[in-house]
Structure 1
Amino acid sequence: MTPAPGPISQTSLSELEQALAEEGLFVDYGACVVRLRSRLKGFAHSLRGVYGSFAFMPEAPFADLHVRVDPGRGLRRWLRPNARFSIDGVEPFDPFPLASALPLYEWGVNWCFAQRFNQHVLLHAGALARAERAVIMAATPGSGKSTLSAAMMLRGFRLLSDEFGVLCPESGALLPMLKPVALKNQSIDLIRGFSGEAVLGPVHYATRKGDVAHLAPDAASVAAMHRPARPALVIFPRWREGAALAVEPQAREQAFARLAFNSFNYRLLGPVSFDAVADLAAACPAVQLTYSRLDEAIEAIHRLLDEPPAVGGVEGER
């Protein structure tokens, strides 16, 4: 019987570098497996810092995506060196500075998920679970979605994703797509001070999205990355500096429209996504949550989950 793979945090840097440079590292995100190869100097160290709880898998029977993070070509290997991201030999982005290789990989993989992972409805949403009941936080950029997702994980919620609400159209279950949480600008220090349990990678300054650091998913979330959750609550978060906490119920038609708008592939999937999002909006209470204090917002979410459901639930996968 083959022993279960140990975590990346317990893998030597030389082993990790060798795997990346040769056959690749297979990164299991729950709903998707990525085969990652790289000969980029220092990249293995950055990766290990935020993927420490993930399994070290230098081999696997299958990968959904095959990607590379490589050094720049020609003089760019030595003069102002950069990093290149590719999938199946195609480079969808301009190179990033070498110091931003990890953000390049994270954004590149997110782009691949959004472009190619169309067997499920992909909501642009944070997704977390308390026990087996999932909270979907759908919002446009700048709403504080990732910061609130990070804080909820650090207060005991199971993180499914800070970016993708992966909704299975057949079962209505929410599947984990677990990645490090990308924190930007002032959110970095906010989360660092929020909990001593936060494991943050280095700050990448002045990237194309500002200053960025990645929060490592906790071991409990990683251990449960193959366990779906049943959608129980939809939240449209809105952070406002100094704002008093406000919880505003959303009508089902409002929730449907906002969920559909905050979806990567709603139009592409047509009737499949329409039915899945309509069922979700009908099954879950939805609120707009305006807040300025993270713990206050998390307490409100607990109260909302504790309220008796007004409608029937959606059955998870069996």
Structure 2
Amino acid sequence: MKICDLAGADIRSALKSTGLQIQIGPFWFSIRSKLPDVHEHLTNLYRYANTDSQPRFIDFSIEVDRKKSSIRGWLKPVAEFTFNGNVPFTPLPLDQSPALLEWGINWCVSAHAHQFLILHAAVVEKDGKALVMPALSGSGKSTLTAALVSKGWRLLSDELALLCVDSGQVFPFTKPISLKNASIDVIKDYWLDARFGKSCTDTVKGTVSHLCPPDASVVRTNDSATVAAFIFPKFRSGAAPSLSSRAKSSAYMTIVENAFNYYLLGERGFECASYVLNHSEAFDLSFGDLDDAIALVSQIWGGESL
């Protein structure tokens, strides 16, 4: 059953009571909330995600709701993210509750799912081959990801690359793409059919809006992929497009720098990263225009080395 198969009243009832059960990649979440913005966010942007009305094993039980507090809290209400009764984050204004939900979901996985080597990276797939893009915020990673997905690439993840420590396969963590500030309008102009959620303004990251992933990507939430290439993107306004091979030793260090749990995994993390990198290629990509960047990526995908 998909979220879109449920009536709005049923979604609202589940959120307010036992929790709305929803599958995101290899994980099942139970989400509770009485906030209208959270209900709207899940209904609009997770419409093809799997759900289940029957009790099942839940990996992460979370809640995003109005913080119960003093008179000050009623004057300036805030939303609080709760995981298993604990509050790992500072509460945020109520109108930032969709962003708080997304950040909380990412935190649950990056802090606890150690069956994977987890990278801060986007992942897309085409022709059965996965492209992993590790990068810091501000690199243009999410913008380029959205542009590639608009051209038919399958979205596996915008934020977290889940590399299985046993097989090296990358598993989907398909959820809305988080875009910030100027990138929001860039993608709205570039992808005219894109569907966005509510914009959350004045967050710690500026204005944040989430882009609904294509239905075709979401329904393949159980289909892992083999990594064919790592690309380290860097957006530079007005820059000429440039693509160059990266030495495996340098690529390895950047992968480690973008990993959440490499040192926690120890030898298993080392072996996983080494295996995946030894069976793939690595490139640096500098771009100032999305069409130029996509043309260079497509050039790699058509090459004989992948």
TM-score range, shorter chain: over 0.9
Q: Does 1:275 align with 2:271?
A: yes
Find 1:72's aligned residue among 59, 67, 72: 67
* Structure 1 position 17 matched with structure 2 position 12: yes
2:146 to 123, 137, 150: 150
Partner of 1:316: none
Trace 1:46-65 onto structure 2 (pairs within 5 A). 46-65=41-60
1:83 paired residue number:
79
What is the deviation of 1:191? Answer: 0.6
> Partner amino acid for 2:91?
P
Report the equivalent of 1:203.
Answer: 199
Deviations 1:236-288 (A, max 9, x none): 00000000000011111111111111111111101111111111221111000
Alignment-derived partner of residue 94 in structure 1: 90
Secondary structure of the 2:89 match is coil
| Alignment-mate amino acid for residue 28 of structure 1 | Q
> Aligned residues: percent identity?
35
Task: Point out 4+ residue stretches in structure 1 off by more than 4 angstroms.
Answer: none
Q: How does 1:1-318 map to 2 (within 5 A)?
A: 5=1, 7-74=2-69, 75=71, 78-309=74-305
1:173 and 1:230 in contact (8 A); partners too: yes
The answer to whether the Cα contact below 8 Å between 2:197 and 2:212 also exists between their aligned partners in 1 is yes
Give the whole-Å Cα distance in 2 for the aligned partners of 1:181 and 1:102. Answer: 12
Aligned residues: 305
Distance 1:41 1:162 in 2: 25
Instruction: State whether residues 239 and 288 of structure 2, in contact with CA within 8 Å, keep that contact through their aligned partners in structure 1.
Output: yes
The answer (yes or no) to whether the contact 2:21–2:29 under 8 Å persists in 1 is yes
CA deviation digits over 1:16-36, x for unaligned, max 9? 110111121112111211111
For residues 224 and 151 of structure 1, what CA distance do their matches in structure 2 show?
A: 19
| Distance (whole Å) between structure 1 residues aligned to residue 224 and residue 114 of structure 2 | 18
Contact kept in structure 1, 2:37 and 2:97, CA below 8 Å:
no
Q: CA deviation at 1:60?
A: 4.6
Shift in Å, 1:76: 5.8
TM-score of the superposition, structure 2-length normalised? 0.96
Q: Which amino acid aligns with 2:17?
A: E
Corresponding residue SS for 1:142: coil
* Paired residue type of 1:31: P
Shift of residue 152, structure 1, vs aligned partner: 1.0
RMSD: 1.4
Structure 1 residues 136 and 60, CA gap change in structure 2 (3 angstroms)? farther
Normalising to structure 1: TM-score of the pair? Answer: 0.92
Secondary structure of 2:42's counterpart equals: helix
Pairwise CA distance, 1:174? 0.6
Deviation at 1:43, TM superposition (A): 2.2
DSSP-derived class of the 1:17 partner: helix
- 1:58-96 deviation digits (Å, cap 9, x = unpaired): 335211111111212133664222111000000011111
CA contact (8 A) 1:23 1:58 kept: no
Gaps of 5+ in 1: 311-318
Change (3 A) 1:274 1:25: same
- Which runs of 5 or more residues in structure 2 are unaligned? none
